[in-house]
Amino acid sequence: MSAQQPSGYQKSLPEITPLTKPFWDATKRHELVIQRCAKCEGHQWYPRAICTLCGSRDLKWSKASGKGSIYSFVVIRQVIDNSPAFQSDIPFVLAEVELEEGPRMYAPMVGCKPEDVRIGMKVEVLFEDATDTVAIPKFKLVP
Amino acid sequence: MIILVRKKAAIVGYGETPFSRARADKGEATLSAEQYYAWATELVLENTGLEKSDFDGEGLAVGGSEWPHSEIWSAEVAQNLGISPKLLIRSDHGGMSGVALLIQAVLAVHSGLVEKVLCVAADSPMSLQGPASRPWRYMIDFCRPFGMMGPNSMIAFILQRYLYQYGIKPEHTGKIAVTQRQHASMNPNAYLKTPMKMEDYLNSRMIVDPIRLLDCCILVNGGLAFVVASQKEAKKITDNPVHVLGIGEAHNYLHGSRTRPDVTVTGIKPAAKEAFKMARVRTKDVCFIEPYDDYTIIVLQQLEDLGFCKKGEVGKFVDKTDLSTKGKLPVNTGGGQLSAGQAGMAGGFLHVIEAVRQLRGEGGQRQVPDADVGVVSGMGGLGYAVNLVNNGIVVFGK
């Protein structure tokens, strides 16, 4: 991917809140964590204040395997106004990954060409350091 | 239990301003959302023969807007228009706002609380002065930083998955784009009227594979309005009312599983089932449909979810079905948002107004012959790893 220096990172960054901070802290350790309900044991992504399956607020952060398969994907060929810094990445594949734990997550693919990607392919997470507080999870194809 | 609102309320008139893509940042003359609200209101009053004061002590229903607006917005619109309603409704249902406000207006009239409701929405997304309204938090936190490029990329995931499960051809989405442009060419108020061939569609550039430019709606500035009235009141206002026969809504409908839903099925499926039952109408009775159309694929999915064909068979269905105003199942008879234009958050009003035009016999060159039953859908808010979140159906009859 890009060789941008963390201090010069130009792309959109999340607005980190107390709810989402454990997720972003984990990305800096290059770990993918998602919420797991202490009551019904269901997993969910993106982070929320309640378990969307059973309604419990007793949610714990759980380390995901980082493995999954592609449920769907798109090839970004044009940036929009609020995301000009992605211009240098174009074209790039954005995947909807079905994590082994169940939930689906949007994330960019790296190390592959758009024409190499198919639905159902196995993928694995890796991280790109963006700033001192944020690393972006991305996925690569695994044989 | 089905609440019977069948023939309890009617639409008695409408207003639609010209659409514009003028841009303030290019020095072009533009109107604000507030000005379009005023213009649409003036037009609907002319169309119904009502006075603004006729809505004092009645209902006012207000759509949202991308144009910067206050949190307490419907009260601002009431003040700006100089109307003092007894009931004030605000929608934040995105593309479903027209159908959502219509349904709430019908329920309000049916309850007896009010006799009539002025439903109005306007937006000026091409002429934003200042920041637009804030998107959903997860867009900011878990979409934009990951490279998501707005709704065009979110719908592309749904089309890609549909292609994987059912294998339609580009000509199938293309038929929606081409047919609706043909309809727009007969609509004086459509923004894009130049006829389009299938070749033009297929050659239009990929924006986010598999979404082409001509799969997308065209954003415009504009204002739209209609008036809902009780049967008693409707008779006083017009001799050509359009009756609401059935309504249905489904929000955050997830087909199969909450964690891993099948995104090829929309909430239109349960909403339509309820609305058709209430209306005592079957698909074979439907003379035309005005399905919500932010993108071509969503129209195809709705043909299935409305029950015109089975899931996965829409390719075969559109191959053999004439979707033009002269055909068996006319689709988006005025060009829809794909060609007539999407007036930002007011976009979903277009489908309601076109259905009313058709059922009143005011379709001009694009009039569907002998139309007496029409179906409108509204859909809003492309969600995270799901389809459109807000879904609504209204069945209209004469």
Question: Is B144 touching A (CB cutoff 8 A)?
Answer: yes
How far, in whole angstroms, is CA B105 from its chain's centroid? Answer: 16
Query: In degrees, to the nearest 5, what angle opens at C-alpha B357 toward C-alphas B352 and B359?
Result: 95
Residue of B nearest to A114 (CA): B209
Mutate to test the interface with B, among A21, A32, A72 (most CBs of B within 10 A): A72
- Please say if the pLDDT value at position A5 is more than 60: no
Average pLDDT in the A11-29 region? Answer: 97
Q: What is the pLDDT of residues A81-106, one digit of tens each?
A: 888 999 999 999 999 999 999 999 99
Which pLDDT value is given to residue B3?
66
CB atoms A76 and B210 under 8 Å? no
Among residues B121, B72, B123, B69, which one has the least CA distance to residue B97? B121
Q: How far is B395 from chain A (nearest CA, A)?
A: 32
CB atoms B140 and A119 under 8 Å? no
Question: Is A1 touching B (CB cutoff 8 A)?
Answer: no
Which pLDDT value is given to residue A3?
42
Nearest to B209 among A107, A114, A130 (CB): A114
Mutate to test the interface with A, among B23, B133, B148, B297 (most CBs of A within 10 A): B148
Which residues in B lie closer than 8 A to residue A78 (C-beta atoms)? 149, 207-208
Name residues 30-59 of chain A within 8 A of B (Cβ).
42-44, 46, 52-53
What is the full per-residue pLDDT of chain B (398 aa) written as tens digits? 566 788 899 999 999 999 999 988 888 889 999 999 999 999 999 999 999 999 999 999 999 888 888 889 999 999 999 999 999 999 999 999 999 999 999 999 999 999 999 999 999 999 887 777 888 899 999 999 999 999 999 999 999 999 999 999 999 999 999 999 999 999 999 999 999 999 999 999 999 999 999 999 999 999 999 999 999 999 999 999 999 999 999 999 999 999 999 999 999 999 999 999 999 999 999 999 999 999 999 999 999 999 999 999 999 999 999 999 999 999 999 999 999 999 999 999 999 999 999 999 999 999 999 999 999 999 999 999 999 999 999 999 99
Dist. CA B22–CA B10, nearest whole Å? 35
CB atoms B259 and A46 under 8 Å? no
3-state SS assignment for residue A125: strand
3-state SS assignment for residue B144: helix
Q: How far is B273 from chain A (nearest CA, A)?
A: 25
Dist. CA B298–CA B267, nearest whole Å? 11
Please list the residues that pair with B89 across neighbouring strands: B61
What are the residues whose beta carbons fall under 8 Å from the beta carbon of A47, sequence distance 6 or more?
Answer: A19, A20, A23, A34, A35
| Strand pairing category for B59-62 and B116-123 | parallel
Question: Is B146 touching A (CB cutoff 8 A)?
Answer: yes
Identify the burial level of B239 via C-beta atoms within 10 angstroms of its C-beta, where 0-12 means exposed, 13-18 middle and 19 or more buried.
exposed
Which residues in B lie closer than 8 A to residue A77 (C-beta atoms)? 205-209
Which pLDDT value is given to residue B338?
98
Q: How far is A20 from chain B (nearest CA, A)?
A: 9
**Is the CB of residue B94 less than 8 Å from the CB of residue B345?**
yes
Segment (H or E) for A106: strand A104-108
Q: Tell me the residue type at B122.
A: A
In chain B, beta strands by DSSP E: 9-16, 59-62, 87-90, 116-123, 206-209, 211-212, 222-230, 242-251, 288-290, 373-382, 388-397
CB atoms A11 and B208 under 8 Å? no
3-state SS assignment for residue B149: coil
Other Cβ atoms closer than 10 A to B136: 14
The residue with tokens 């550039």 is B205
| Strand pairing category for A135-141 and B222-230 | unpaired
**Is the CB of residue B341 less than 8 Å from the CB of residue B191?**
yes
Other Cβ atoms closer than 10 A to B383: 17
Identify the burial level of A48 via C-beta atoms within 10 angstroms of its C-beta, where 0-12 means exposed, 13-18 middle and 19 or more buried.
middle
Name residues 82-111 of chain A within 8 A of B (Cβ).
82-83, 86, 89, 92, 94, 96, 98, 102-108
